[in-house]
Amino acid sequence: MSEPVAAVRAVGVSKRYPTVTALDDVSVEIDTGRMTAVLGPSGSGKSTLLHCLAGLDTVDSGAVYIGDVNLCGLDERRLTRLRRDRIGFVFQSFNLVPTLTAAENVVLPLRLAGRSPERAWVARVIDAVGLADRLGHRPAELSGGQQQRVAVARALVARPAVVFADEPTGNLDSLAGAGVLALLRRCVDEFGQTVVMVTHDPIAAGHADRALFLRDGRVVDDLPSPGVEQVLERLRAPRAAA
Amino acid sequence: MIRVTLRGLRARGWRALLTGLTAAVGVAIVVGTLMVGDTADRSGGSEGVDLVRTIMLLAGGVAVLVGGFIVNLTMSVTVAQRTRELGLLRCIGADRRQVRRSVLLEALAVGVLAAAAGLAAGHGVAVVLRAAVDAGPFQGDLPAGGSVLSGRTVVAAFAVGCLPMLLSALAPARRAGRVAPVAALREVAPSAGRMRPRRIGAGALALAVGLAALPLAVATRQGLLLLPGAASTLLAVRLLGPLFAGRLADVLGAPLRGVVGGLGRRNAARSPDRTAATATALMIGLALLTLVSIVFSSIEKAVLNDVHRDHVDFQVWAGGPDPTVRRAAPMDPEAVRRLRALPELSAVVTVDCVATGGATFCAADPAQLARVVDLEFSAGSLAAVTSGGVAVSDRDGRAPGATLRVGDADLTVTAVYRATDNFNAALIPSAELARIGGAPYPMTALTRVAPGVDRGAARSAVARATAGFPGLDVHDRAAFHAHDLAQFRNAGRVYRALTALAAVLGLFGVATTLALSIVERRREFGLLRAVGMGRRQLRAMVRVEGVLIALVGAALGLTVGVLFGWAAAAVLAHSSQPTRFTLPVGALAAIVVLVTAAGLLAAAVPARLAARVDVLRAVAAE
C-alpha cells in the first residue's frame, strides 16, 4: 500500500502543561481517505492530540502538517483560514449555531469564506446525511442524532483535507450513535474523506480502518482494521502493548 | 446566606460594576445638584439656581430610572444564567425565601456601592455645575467658597442609589425563588416561556392610557397631563416590548447582507425580552432628547418667524437701559419730529397713547405699522380697520365682532393679526385715537433704515436726533434679536446636553446586555471560530448586534419623542410662548447617526471580549 502523502502528520510533537505532559514526542501519520480512531483512557492525551492536529492548540515542540502546510508557521489569521477551508469539525456537543437553520449551519463555513456553495455538492452531502426534509429546522427542533448528522454535513461541505470528530457519539444513545458512525464510515467509503475520530467507545473504534492507542501522552499501539474485540482487549490490558 | 451573596458578588464583580455604573452616575448628578442647591440656599438662593436645580434633579431622576432598568436587566439575566447554581442551593436546603433574599441582597450591595461612588463623584459634578451656573445662560449667582455636603444629601444619595435597585430586583428575585431544586440536575435551563396574557393586558392598558393623554393634554391645554402619559407609555413599551423588539431588530437589520450581518441580526432578535429591556433603557433618554429638540425648534421657528416679520431697525423709547423692562413713559413729540426729518430713515412709526377714563390706551396706525412689521391677519384685513373698528393681536383673545371698550367708546374688533414677540398692541387709525381720548402722545418710535444707508451711519444719526432728550434710549433690534436667539440657543444646548446624558446612560445598558450575552454564548463563539470565523468577523457580528439593539431603542425613542413633542408643542402654542410645531429633521437624523455610532462604541468592549474567546476551552466538552 503506497499512499502518496499523509493527510495529516505529527512529527515529534510534545505538549506540556504545568503539572502534566499531555503529549510526549508523538509522531503519527494519518492516512488519506481512511478513518483513524484515536483511543485511550481519559487523561491519555487523545483530545490534546486531536486539538494539536487540528490547529486548535499550539505545540511546544515538533511540527504538525496538514497536507504539506506546517501549522506551526501559521499566524492566527492563516490558522483560521486553514480551519475554514481544509478542516471539518464534529464535536461531542454544541455543534450547531442555535440561531441558524440546519441548512444554514451546513453552508456556514462556505459563507464565512465568502464562497457561494456549489449546489450539486451541497445537495449530495445533504442527501448523504439524510436530512433533506429537516433543512429549515433550528437545532433546538432536531434530535441529538440529527444535530450530529447536520454537523457531519457541515464538516464535509468545504471538501476538507480531513474531518476531525471529537467523541461524536459521546452524547447520543446507542441507536443514534450507530447512525452517526455509519454516516462517518460512508463519508470515507463514498467520498474518500479522511476522518480522524477521538473516542473511548470500542464500538465506535470498530468502524475505523485503524486504531491508535494513547497512554500518558505516547502512542502505545497502532492497530490496523481493528475489531471491537481487539480494541476491548487493548483497552483492558494497555500496559502489555507497550 | 449573606456570605454566599457576597461571594457571588465578588465572582460577578465586573457585572456588578456595569450594573452599578449607571446608578452611580444618577446618584452623582443628584448629589452634585443638591450640593450646589444647598450652597445657593445659604446665600438666599437665586432664580437661576432654582431652574438649574429642577432640571438637574429631573436629569438625575431619569438617570436613576435608566439605572433601575439596567439593574432589572442584569439581575434577570444573572438569575437565568445561575439557574443550576440556584437549584443546587435549593437542593442543599436553602428555602425559597433565602434564595430570594440572596438576589435582593446582591442588588442592595450594588446599590450601596453605587451610592458611595456617586457620593464621591457628586463633588465633581458640583464643581462643573457651579461653573455652568456661574457662566451659563441662567445667570445664577452663587456665593464664593466650597459647596456644602449636608446630611440630607447623603441620605438622598443612599435612597436614590438603593431603592430603585431593590425595586428593580424584586421580579428577578421572585423568579429566582421559583427555581426548582431539580434545575440543578438538568442539563439545559428551561426557557423563559411565553408571555403571560396578564402582562399583555396590562401593557395594552398602559399603552391606551399613555396615548389617550396626548389628545387630552392638547384639548385641555394641560401640559402636565403629558407627564403621566409618558410614564404610562414607557411602562407599556417595557411590558409589550418582547412582542415586537425581536421583529423590529430583524426589520432594521434587513439591509444587512452576508453571513456576519445575518448572524448579528439574528442574535439581536434572538432574545426579544432582553432586547426590549435594553432598548427601553435607551428609549427613555432618546425620547426625552427628541421631545426637547422638537419643543426648542418649534419655539425657535416661531421666534425666527417673528424676527423675519419685524423690520424695525432702531426702536426709541423712554425706557431704561434694559430692553426687557419697558417703562411706559411718554416721549417728547419733538424727538419724533426730529427722527422723521432724518433722511437716513425710511419709516418712523409711533405707538401713541391716550389717557381715557383713568386708563391708558395705546395703539398704532395700521397703515403706518405695516411699513415696519409684516402684519399677518388671521381674520379680516388692513382695509377692515376703519372708523369704529380695531385690530387686535391674537394674544388678546378677542374674536372679530367682539367689543373692545376704551374709556366711553366701544370699538368693534374687525381684524385679528398675529402678534410678534415685540408687538401686540391694538391697531386703530391715528385719527380715531384722537377722537377717543384727546391728544395722543407718542410712547415709542419704531424706525427703519432707508435702503442703501449704512447701519452705523443711521445709528449715529438717530443718536444725534435723540441726544437732547433725557431718558430716551435707542435700542438696536437686530442686536437684541441676535442676543435673544443666542441666549435661547444656549438654553437649548444645555437642555439637550442633559437629556443626551440619559441617552448615554442607556448605552451603558446596551454594553451591559452585550457583555452578559457574550458570557452566555462562549461556546457558540468558540464553535464559530472553530469552523472558520475570523476574529474580525466575530467582532463585526457583535457590533451588528449592538447597533441593532441601539437602533431599536432609537426607533422607539423617536416615535415616543415625536408623539409627545408634538403634543407639548401644541399645548405651548396656546400659551404666551410663541410656538410652531416643526420636526427638526436634521437633529433627528443626527440622533440616529449618533446612536449608530454609539452602538458601535458600546459594542466595542464586548466585541473584543467575544473575539478573545479561547476556541479550545469553548468547544471542549464540559
Averaged pLDDT, B388-404: 82
* pLDDT-based confidence at residue A240 (cuts at 50, 70, 90): very low
Nearest-neighbour CA in chain B from A2: distance (Å): 31
B267 reaches A (C-beta below 8 A): yes
Averaged pLDDT score across all residues of chain A: 87
If you average pLDDT over residues B368-374, what whole number do you get? 84
CB A146 within 8 A of CB A154: no
**Across the interface, do A112 and B530 touch by the CB < 8 Å criterion?**
no
What is the least distance, in Å, from the CA of B175 to any CA of chain A?
24
Residue B136 has pLDDT above 70, yes or no: no
CA distance B444 to B447: 10
Tell me the three cell numbers of residue A218.
Answer: 505516547
Check B531 against A112: CB less than 8 A apart: yes
Cα separation, B523 vs B296, whole angstroms: 49
Cβ–Cβ contact A111 with B under 8 A: yes
Contact A91/B at CB under 8 A: yes
Interface membership of A109 toward B (CB under 8 Å) = yes
Residues of B in contact with A109 (CB under 8 A): 531-532
> Average pLDDT for residues B41-52, to the nearest whole number?
63
In 3-state terms chain A splits into helix, strand, coil percentages (rounded to 5) of 40, 25, 35
Whole-number pLDDT of residue B605: 87
Contacts of B621 in chain A (CB under 8 A): 91-93, 166-167, 170
Please report the pLDDT score of residue B554 as a whole number: 94
Of B531, B532, B616, the CB nearest to A57: B616
User: Are the beta carbons of A36 and A30 closer than 8 angstroms?
Assistant: yes
CB contact under 8 A, B530 and A91: yes
Please give, rounded to a whole number of angstroms, the shortest distance from the CA of B266 to a CA of chain A: 6
CB-based contact B263 A166, cutoff 8 Å: no
Q: What percent of chain B has pLDDT over 90?
A: 11
**Per the CB < 8 Å rule, is A100 touching B267?**
no
Nearest to B509 by CA among B66, B33, B108, B127: B66
Residue with cell 438662593: B45
Domain ranges of chain A: 31-43+75-209+218-241
**What contacts B98, CB < 8 A, 6 or more positions away?**
B1, B89
Site from B260, B266, B274, B531 to mutate, A interface, most A CB atoms within 10 angstroms: B531
**A49 Cβ neighbours under 8 A, 6+ residues apart:** A10, A13, A23, A26, A28, A38, A198, A214
- Measured between CB atoms, which of B260, B528, B616 is closest to A97? B528
Residue B189's pLDDT band, with cuts at 50, 70 and 90, is very low
CB contact under 8 A, A112 and B532: yes
Q: Domain extents for chain B? A: 1-193, 204-309+476-622, 330-470
Q: For chain A, list the strands marked E by DSSP.
A: 8-16, 21-30, 35-39, 61-66, 69-70, 87-90, 162-166, 195-198, 210-215, 218-224
Q: Does A81 touch chain B if contact means CB atoms closer than 8 Å?
A: yes
Which grid cell is B573?
A: 402654542
Any B CB within 8 A of A100 CB: yes
CA distance readout (Å), B32 to A13, B39, B342: 63, 11, 57
**Residue located via cell numbers 475520530:** A197
Q: Is A94 close to B619, i.e. CB distance below 8 A?
A: yes
What is the architecture, at CATH level 2, of domain A31-43+75-209+218-241?
3-Layer(aba) Sandwich (3.40)
Do the Cβ atoms of B345 and B462 come closer than 8 Å? yes
Between residues B276 and B83, the one the model is more confident about = B276
Give chain A's end-to-end CA distance (angstroms, integer): 26
- Residue B122 CA, distance from chain mean position: 22
- Residue B19: enclosing H or E segment and its boundaries? helix B13-42
Averaged pLDDT of chain B? 82
CA distance A171 to A180: 11
B223 DSSP 8-state letter: G
CB-based contact B150:B34 (threshold 8 Å): yes
| Nearest chain B residue (CA) to A82 | B532
Size of interface A-B (CB pairs under 8 A): 73
Put simply, whether B520 touches A (Cβ < 8 Å) is no
pLDDT in tens, B162-173: 888 888 888 888
Q: Which amino acid, B457?
A: A
Buried b (16+ CB within 10 A) or exposed e, B191-200: eeeebeeeee
Q: What pLDDT was estimated at residue B405?
A: 81
CB contact under 8 A, A109 and B531: yes
Q: How confident is the model over A77-86, as pLDDT tens digits?
A: 888 888 888 9
Category of A86 on φ-ψ map: left (φ > 0), alpha (ψ -120 to 50) or beta: alpha
Grid coordinates standing for B531? Answer: 469552523
Q: Evaluate whether ipTM surpasses 0.85.
A: no
- B190 versus B425: which is more confidently predicted? B425
Q: How close, in Å, is residue B84 to chain A by CA atoms? A: 18
Say how far apart CA A22 and CA A178 lie, in whole Å. 30
Residues A123-133 have a mean pLDDT of 87
Please tell me the distance from the alpha carbon of residue B598 to that of residue B237, in angstroms, as a whole number.
22
What does each C-alpha distance from A160 to A39, A214, B290 come to in angstroms?
23, 25, 54
Per the DSSP assignment, residues forming a β-bridge with A9 are A29, A65
Predicted local distance difference test score (pLDDT) of residue B212: 93
Residue B166 CA to residue B105 CA, distance in Å, equals 8
Residue A51 forms contact with B (CB below 8 Å)? yes
Q: What length is written for chain A? A: 242
- Mean pLDDT, range A155-173, rounded to an integer: 90
Cell 476522518 found at: A195
Out of A51, A80, A96, whose CB is closest to B532?
A80
Query: What is the tens place of the pLDDT at every residue in B139-152?
Result: 555 665 566 778 88
- Distance to chain B for A95, nearest Cα, Å: 7
Q: What percent of chain B has pLDDT over 70?
A: 88
Give the pLDDT band of residue A238 (cuts 50, 70, 90).
low
pLDDT at residue B620 in the model: 66
For B100-115, write each residue's pLDDT tens digit: 888 888 888 888 988 9
Tell me how far apart the alpha carbons of residues A52 and B559 are, in angstroms, rounded to a whole number: 54
Would you state the pLDDT for residue B195? 67
Query: Which H or E run includes B348?
Result: strand B345-356
